[in-house]
Amino acid sequence: MKYAMFIVVDPEATEADDAAAPAIEDWFEYVIGKGSYLQGIRLQPKSDATTIRVRDGKVLVADGPFTESKEWIAGLAIIECEDLDAAIEQALKHNMAYQGRLEIRPIHSMGGPEAAERRGRLQTGRHHGDVRDCRLVGAGRVRRQQREPDKHVPDMRV
């Protein structure tokens, strides 16, 4: 099973927590050696975040993360493990288990329309990134229909 391991900065970590933390290089060596490390993503700090939402037909764009907390997501790792216990075992070897927080969550699916097309199947649905409808057509080819953007949604920057 594939898991996303969210790596969260926790400013309440103590010097004792820092001293007890294993080196991140040791974690990489361990998970790569097991063949369970699939991908990692390191994010820019929360000060570079932008939050977007639509409420009552109005687009709201705000600087900063979606939550107002001291903790923030620094990145994530995609790992493949036999089960949750194995994922927890791997997380316990990560330095941020001591210096921050780790959230492990099973992955529902990975990839977008292109990955689904390669697998030869695609569910009907709206892709909000570029406002397209995608449908499977014939032998693994996808027909994309451009849709008009919603004109009733004004830009309301916060």
Amino acid letter, residue 63: D
Q: Cα–Cα distances in Å, from 113 out to 3, 118, 134, 143, 147?
A: 21, 9, 8, 11, 16
What pLDDT was estimated at residue 97? 95
Which residue type is seen at 78?
I
Burial of 77 (0-12, 13-18, 19+ CB in 10 A): buried
User: Distance between the two ends of the chain, CA-based, in angstroms?
Assistant: 40
| pLDDT in the model for residue 129 | 43
Superfamily the domain 2-46+70-106 falls into = Dimeric alpha+beta barrel (3.30.70.1060)
pLDDT at res. 19: 96
**With the C-alpha atoms ordered 64, 66, 21, 19, is the resulting torsion angle positive or negative?**
positive
Per-residue pLDDT of the chain (158 residues; tens, 9 = 90+): 999 999 998 889 999 999 999 999 999 999 999 999 999 999 998 888 888 889 999 998 988 766 666 777 889 999 999 999 999 999 999 999 999 999 999 999 888 777 667 666 555 444 444 333 333 333 333 333 333 444 444 444 44
The pLDDT score that the predictor gives to residue 26 is 96
Q: Please state the separation of Cα 105 from the chain's center in Å.
A: 10
Res 121: pLDDT: 58
- pLDDT value of position 81: 95
Domains of the chain by residue range: 2-46+70-106, 113-150
